[in-house]
Chains A and B, each alone.
Chain A
Amino acid sequence: MTTDTSPAAPSPAPPPSAEAEPGKEPNLLQEILSGSWLVSVLAIVAALVLGGVLIAVSNAEVVEAAKNIFAAPGSFFSTLFSTVGDAYSALFRGAVFDWNARTTERAIRPLTESLVSGTPLILTGLGIALAFRSGLFNIGGQGQVILGATIAGYLGYALHLPPVVHMLIAAIGGIIGGAIWAGIAGVLKARTGANEVIVTIMLNSIAGYLLGYLLKQNWFTHTTSANPQSRTLDDSSHMFMLLPSPFRLHFGFIIAILATIFVWWLLERSTIGFEFKAVGANPHAARTAGISVSKVTILVMIVAGALAGLGGAAQVLGTEFKLTGGISGSIGFDAITVALLGRSKPLGTFLAGLLFGAFKAGGYLMQSQTGTPIDIVLVVQSVIVLLIAAPPLVRSIFRLPAPALKRKES
């Protein structure tokens, strides 16, 4: 078997069967050449096109112009492109660089906002990717983020400590919160065989109600207000800012980078990570080789939950500064798509987190400036992941030759 993937040699085999053949895992360089990165980029393009179609058909002006398409095709296309173009340029300006801004600071602020939105996505996505690699479907990112944010936030206003120490203790509290929450699913899976998909889904809802309950208890919120939200966190517990005032980029982003490196080291360089992957690849073989599958299951969930909990902690200590019922937003669910887009690899997850963070940051500007609902971002994100999960489909859309050998996606 060869790993030569030169596109000049079209394979007569149908793409699906070529996809499934087990093969040697290619290294990074070969992977880029083999076109899996190309597939990712093309999937993003296709998803944006599809999103553009949706924007167009829901726009009254475009529909109006389409009625006269034969009388005035020019006006139809100009309306079409201006509508979709406006929406996407607002998305870009909100996510990367705002060329309409008056000051330089405001022009580059969107990029930092994308990093801010991406930080919890990266951390939580890493947790989910790690579990995927070990063959566990951690759908419970949401619950783990909530628990992490809850404990980190509580420690942030309940304790009064010197600056950096306070932040670290609150963040560690968040890590422990997430680890415990995911650990429940891990222990149940290992001890009783309870399906982790169901348990983590249930734990998501339980965490949501738990936070809702706690936010109504005055002993917890440290306020007397009837609003279901907590006191503002002490300044000493905040993740310190990396840039001066108008920017909100905080230390959490550095943590996200460190966490990415840590997960890479764990999976690629450590013995325990090797056991994780072995169980993920074939639990029976791993058991035969003397690896304790139940121990690995519990450990994977704990580490995954710790990362997700850290994501929640970064959210509350870095951007929100107080606990509310919606503290977690949809981070936990977005992180699943982040991990999938990143192909459950640390660097991939990091980049996917940045991309989805950019979508999130840009979506707000798009919504406020062009009236295009931010929900379009969900459509684009999910289509990207769907397409990336089925590379042969992307290749057939763009008429790309199939690679001679490709590992099957998991």
Chain B
Amino acid sequence: MTAQNTTAATTAAKTSAQSKVLTPIAWKFPITYTILALVSLIFFGLIGRDGETTFRIATSGDLFAIPDVVVSSTVAGLILSLILVVMAASSVYLAIKRITLAAWFPMVFGILFVVSFLAWAGGGSGGVIPLTTLLAGALALSVPLIFGAMCGLVGERSGIINIAIEGQLLAGAFLAAVVASVVKNPYAGLLAAPIAGALVAVILTFFAVKYWVNQIIIGVVLNVLVVGVTSFLYSTVLTEDPELWNARQKLPDLPIPLLSDIPVLGRVLFDQNILVYIMYVVVIALQIFVFRSKWGLRMRAVGEHPKAADTVGIKVNFTRVRNTLVAGAIAGLGGAFFTVGSGLAFGKEMSAGQGYIALAAMILGKWNPKGALLAALLFGFSKSLGNTLQSIGTPVANELLLMLPYIVTVLAVAGFVGRVRPPAASGVPYVK
């Protein structure tokens, strides 16, 4: 197969040299795939680590039990690596033929690469890799990111750059914890969190729309402000009487009958609290409304070409303010996941930079709800992977694993996504 590819490559190269109309061959992806496949083949397959890796699929109380999958580390690595090599070769072939790869291709490639890596990482230490825990952790770590990315997306599509997602998450987490604790009902916190996020958005739009202050600057400063206010109140009011102000309240899990009994994915997706279900609704709703509704059309219009929008009678600044407030409320909800969503009390700076990652997820997803969702899940997964590997003890240092999602983002922003195009009027104040 590889030999055929090479001959095809040479002929294709000849034809491309003859006709100048053809677009240049996109080498970026095939080269990346090839490098990853070779890494997998050499390190996870050929060098490999002796021993067996156990993938634990079942969790207690499943509808039907699935036995653990035990594989030999090197054999699994070799087989998966060979599949990867074949996929890389076919991507080279398709690139030469100038055929764009289907969307499933990178996903399947990525999943196989990760499984190959897991088989290698689990070997030697006799580690058990709990798949359900790994994926559930990934989803849990992604929830605030997804809410944050949706917030950023609505804002930027309307023409307001929102760096303050971090602050909105933190404010949401804070108010959710405090209100839930005082009312002694976690659902009250869920109502309060969007208000906190929207309040931060009020300040953002006040300075951005009324005073035309640079939106990146306001965002950065607002993050500091929210950290300052919440930490200050935490150190004074909350710690003085934690029973009243900062008692732990957890949203109960609401398993959906039948669906939640499906092993692995059902467990992960449908045995969650209401906040996660709200997240599904928000993502699906945005995916539809941004591209299929009057609201979405107007939002994109004021974000791309506010003057044209104004000419046809859309109130540009009103639309921007309203959408940014809605977006702030969404981010606030995401913040609630840190406290009432996970059953934790509020802690200083507990959003820990997640807002910035959400921003990266939004850009990685090209300002598209579906894309942002996948990017956020990718971040959540790599973090969860890091946690899992740390607990089973692998030769890879934890810090290097945790670094991985950030490096992926840099690479993605630089190479994969290339010159991403934000909404044209994003960050530009509209002046009549």
Contact = CB atoms under 8 A, between A and B. Distances in A.
B419 A16 contact: no
Contact of B228 (A16, A210, A336, A379): A379
Contacts of B419: 192-193
B403 A376 contact: no
Contacts of B231: 373, 375, 378
A328 interface: no
A139 B418 CA distance: 20
Nearest to A378: B228
A205 B216 CA distance: 19
Given A213-B400, A378-B227, A382-B224, 15 more contacts: A54-B232, A194-B410, A197-B216, A202-B413, A206-B410, A209-B400, A210-B403, A213-B403, A216-B399, A340-B221, A378-B231, A386-B218, A389-B207, A389-B217, A389-B221
Contacts of B207: 386, 389-390, 393
A378 B418 CA distance: 36
B114 interface: no
Interface of B: 163, 203, 207, 210-214, 216-218, 220-222, 224-225, 227-229, 231-233, 235-237, 240, 353, 356, 359-360, 363, 397, 399-400, 402-403, 406-407, 409-410, 413-415, 418-420, 431
A382 B221 contact: yes
Contacts of B203: 386
A31 B397 CA distance: 54
A373 B216 contact: no
B359 A198 contact: yes
The secondary structure that dominates the B interface is helix
Name, among B217, B235, B360, the residue most crowded by chain A CB atoms within 10 Å (CB to CB).
B217
5 smallest beta-carbon distances between A and B, as pairs: A378-B228, A373-B235, A213-B399, A379-B228, A382-B225
Contacts, number: 146
A301 interface: no
B236 A393 contact: no
B120 to A, nearest CB: 20
Contacts of B420: 193, 195
A201 B228 contact: no
A24 B431 CA distance: 21
A177 B383 CA distance: 27
B228 A382 contact: yes
A199 interface: yes
Contacts of B409: 198, 202
A199 B413 contact: yes
Interface of A: 16-17, 19-20, 54, 58-60, 137, 139, 184, 188, 191-195, 197-199, 201-203, 205-206, 209-210, 212-213, 216, 333, 336-337, 340, 372-373, 375-383, 385-386, 389-390, 392-393, 408-410
A386 B225 contact: yes
B342 to A, nearest CB: 22
Contacts of A191: 414
30 contacts: A16-B210, A17-B431, A20-B212, A20-B431, A54-B229, A58-B233, A60-B240, A188-B413, A193-B419, A198-B413, A201-B356, A202-B409, A203-B410, A205-B356, A209-B406, A212-B399, A213-B403, A336-B220, A372-B236, A373-B231, A373-B232, A379-B228, A381-B228, A382-B224, A382-B225, A386-B203, A386-B225, A389-B207, A389-B213, A390-B213
A372 B403 CA distance: 36
A333 B163 CA distance: 14
Contacts of A381: 224, 228
B182 to A, nearest CB: 16
Given A16-B210, A336-B220, A216 B410 contact: no
Contacts of B225: 378-379, 382-383, 386
Contacts of A194: 410, 413-414
A138 to B, nearest CB: 11
Contacts of A198: 359-360, 363, 409, 413
Contact of A337 (B224, B360, B402): B224
A12 to B, nearest CB: 18
Contacts of B224: 333, 337, 378, 381-382
B229 A379 contact: yes
A213 B232 contact: no
A187 B109 CA distance: 29
B221 A199 contact: no
Name, among A194, A199, A340, A381, the residue most crowded by chain B CB atoms within 10 Å (CB to CB).
A194
